[in-house]
Amino acid sequence: MIVVTGAAGFIGSCLAKELARENKEMVLVDDFSKSEKAENLQELANFPKIERTEFFDWLETEPAIETIYHIGARTDTTEFDYSILEELNLEYTKKIWKYCADNGVNLIYASSAATYGDGELGYEDSHVLPNELVPLNAYGVSKNEFDKWALVQKDQPPHWYGLKFFNVYGPNEYHKGRMASVIMHAFNQIKKTGEMKLFRSHNPAYKNGEQLRDFIYVKDVVSVIEFLANNTPQSGLYNLGTGCARTFLDLTVNVFKAMGLEDNIGFIDTPADIRDKYQYFTEADMTKLKSAGYTKEFYNLEAGVHDYVTNYLMEGKYY
């Protein structure tokens, strides 16, 4: 049996659906009271569901778990109450780790590229770097604190992987609101107004719209997670991006193209509450994952945006 936490969320639901299509025996964990995520559970109605708050009580009675995919987290990068992030992203994950270590259960958990801060120290998924990183927001701090904690534990799961997700986009993020990908925001804004407003650059090193991010399609994220689970390479932290940074202008032009429309792009100031915590460049160093044997080509931005817009957003469909 396998367990997926965050199973009603964006990445978690895509992963759970892929595992369901492979006829895996699976239990889903999340806060299932949030109605805005209910549609993500299409095709998963027949799988047992455990409320997040009841998960550890359930674990005491459940034998024979092979792997826990801990994708659930508080992912709001504008959350300033660290106590909430500490509880959900740090202490909750420690309890899952300890259960896996004590019971011989493999663990794959969601870390984040937000741990890298402004990128001054680079984007190498080494095990030395976390102690030097200075994340730009409380969310990134919570993720980095767990990475640091995990790396010094003597008792470990048989195989464990902390995945530093870069900018993930794709179906099943309809519920994420402000935290949804720029692709989804662009689609909705273009559909409503015929134009797209990008954040203006407040860094003289970058022109407006030329801020760079490593955008990765959720289908690639699921593929990598399954590769790690099935092939069990060396445990540790792994970047999960494409290794190729692209501009927000590139992204937006491709959304217009996928919608069959001419570009109409303007700029607005970056909101004050995130301006000093804004990452202007991210690009995953993918050497470790490739050295572990992952050879599948990632969707490039053009292909990923086209698939997402034409097959999901324009149709209102889910993964």
The distance of Cα 315 from the centroid of its chain, to the nearest Å, equals 23
Q: Where in the chain is the domain with CATH 3.90.25.10?
A: 169-212+245-282+304-313
> What pLDDT shows up at residue 274?
83
DSSP state for residue 255 in the 8-state scheme: H
Residue that is written with structure tokens 């402000």 in the block? 178
| Res. 81: pLDDT tops 80 | no
Output the pTM of the full model: 0.95
| Res. 76: pLDDT tops 70 | no
- Which pLDDT band, with edges at 50, 70 and 90, does 132 fall under? very high
* Angstrom distances, CA of residue 64 to CA of 60, 97, 166: 11, 16, 32
2-168+216-243+284-298 CATH choice from 3.40.50.300, 3.40.50.720, 2.130.10.10, 3.10.20.740:
3.40.50.720
DSSP state for residue 110 in the 8-state scheme: E
The residue ranking higher by pLDDT, 83 or 236, is 236
Question: Cβ contacts of residue 33 below 8 Å, gap of 6+?
Answer: none
Q: 295: closest CA among 218, 234, 236, 220?
A: 220
| Res. 239: pLDDT tops 80 | yes
Sheet holding 49-51, edge to edge: 49-51, 26-30, 2-5, 67-70, 106-112, 160-165, 236-240
| Res. 119: pLDDT tops 70 | yes
CB 254 within 8 A of CB 273: no
* Angstrom distances, CA of residue 87 to CA of 44, 90, 91: 28, 6, 5
Instruction: Identify residue 101 by its one-letter amino acid code.
Output: A
Of 106-110, 200-204, 274-278, 315-319, the poorest mean pLDDT is in 274-278
- Return the CATH number of the domain spanning residue range 169-212+245-282+304-313: 3.90.25.10
- The half-sphere exposure of 195 on its side-chain side, counting CA atoms within 13 A, is 7
- Measure the CA–CA gap between 265 and 251, rounded to whole angstroms: 11
- Measure the CA–CA gap between 203 and 51, rounded to whole angstroms: 43
CB 89 within 8 A of CB 74: yes
Question: Largest Cα–Cα distance in the chain?
Answer: 58
- Measure the CA–CA gap between 8 and 172, rounded to whole angstroms: 9
Tokens of 206: 């970058």
Quote the mean pLDDT of the chain: 95
Tokens of 58: 């359930």
- Measure the CA–CA gap between 224 and 135, rounded to whole angstroms: 25
Residue that is written with structure tokens 């050295």 in the block? 291
CB 286 within 8 A of CB 211: no
Residue that is written with structure tokens 């959304």 in the block? 255
Q: Where in the chain is the domain with CATH 3.40.50.720?
A: 2-168+216-243+284-298
Q: Which residues are catalytic?
A: 139, 176
